[in-house]
Structure 1
Amino acid sequence: MNIILLVIGILAVVAILLVIVYNRFVKNRNMVKDAWSNIDVALKRRYDLIPNLVETVKGYAAHEKSTLESVIEARNAAMAVPSNDINAQIKAENQLQQSLRSIFALGEAYPDLKANINFLDLQQKLNEIEENLERSRRYYNGTVRENNTYGESLPGVVFAGMLNYQHFDYFETDEASRENVKVSFG
């Protein structure tokens, strides 16, 4: 009789631990998704500004067609990533960020464009969005850190496979976006 009570007690403790770990996985995953939704809103605002920015630049830098096309391609590629695939969306956003930097480099090369009111207004709006993205990115990365740490440490790691633990990537700038943009007119 004592052995049966001991086994029932052990099973009860394991069941309680399993429920606690599962609830923590759910909480962490929901926090990451909530943090990503803040980023997603800012990204959609940025997507909406990009065509206006490209059109403004087109009038001043018609022979920079490849630069403008690369921005539109990067925007379309980022928009095409399924919204539930956060890790793929992060990669697409890094490519879009790099192509946007090349547009602003064009602004430096064309003084008339740099002085254009529409360009300046769009650039200011984009800067505001980028600042909002930076704040949201910090919050997102904090929730990802908490999620990934719990899923990779005890007791989470023991139950991770069984409870469909999801690892998320940090939203960091890639190495290419840390380099200066080179604009060539040759």
Structure 2
Amino acid sequence: MDFKKFLPWIIGAVVIFGIYGWVKGINNTAVTLDQTVEQSWGDVQTSYQRRNDLIGNLVNTVKGAADFEKGTLTAVIEARAKATSVTVDPKNITPEQLAQFNQAQSGVSSSLSKLLLTVEAYPELKANANFLKLQDELASTENQILTARTRFNEAVKPYNTHIKTFPNSLFAGIFGFKEKAYFQAVAGAEKPVEVKF
């Protein structure tokens, strides 16, 4: 049997399987990194959901205080409702979606800060054990949110790097992988805080 006539077929088969394995590796790595980003996004959402749940409890506790400013409570409730209405598709996290999500969550943070400042004028609330516990849990949750956002950005970086580097970038579009957005600081966060005494 003459192997020389089969040699081009064998070389062709080896090259085809090599290319197949290489492209498969590019795709599978992108899938794995994409799943890590989606899991990180789920952690972000879980942290914000915990904050929203705590806000509900906090609002109910504050409502019980006599003559508490209703406008402040309404602002918190409305900001919370707006924030929960903003949805982001973890498969296609665009900078615009993330900015809209970030802005809505920033509204919650702002109205919540005003609520907690207003509470200073109500000694019975400041002494309420349930309120103090909720306030501590909110502070802890804000730290969890920061951690979840940081981990999300850390998960996005290797994914974006993988799909944007050559030659992976040639196949990323074919397989439907798109660049994902990072969490950015809220607009104005770079300005120093003005402290008044």
- If the TM-score is normalised by the length of the shorter chain, which range does it land in? 0.7 to 0.9
Provide the C-alpha distance between the structure 2 equivalents of 1:167 and 1:95, rounded to a whole number of angstroms: 27
Q: Which residue of 2 aligns with 1:75?
A: 80
Kindly provide the CA deviation profile for residues 103-139 of structure 1, in whole angstroms up to 9, marking residues without a partner as x. 223234x252434333222110111112222222222
Equivalent residue letter for 1:15:
Y
2:33·2:159 contact (CA, 8 Å) conserved in 1?
yes
Aligned to 2:160: 148
Aligned mate of 2:60, from 37, 46, 55: 55
Q: What do the CA deviations read for 1:69-104 (whole angstroms, capped 9, x no partner)?
A: 232122112222336455354443233223322222
Query: What is the aligned partner in structure 1 of residue 37 from structure 2?
Result: 32
Structure (1 or 2) with the larger CA radius of gyration: 2
Does residue 165 (structure 1) correspond to residue 177 (structure 2)? The answer is: yes
Partner residue of 2:140? Answer: 128
Q: Which stretch shows the higher mean deviation, 3-12 or 123-132?
A: 3-12
Query: Structure 2-normalised TM-score?
Result: 0.73
Question: Structure 1 length as normaliser, TM-score?
Answer: 0.77
Structure holding more helix per residue: 1
Cα distance change on mapping 1:50 and 1:100 into 2, 3 Å: same
Instruction: Give 1:22's match in structure 2, choosing from 23, 27, 31.
Output: 27
Root-mean-square deviation (Å): 3.0
One-letter amino acid of the structure 2 residue matched with residue 81 of structure 1: V
Give unmatched runs, 5+ long, in structure 1: none
Secondary structure, counterpart of 2:174 in structure 1: coil
Specify every segment of 5 or more residues in structure 2 that has no aligned partner in the other structure, as ranges.
none
Using the aligned pairs only, state the percent identity: 28
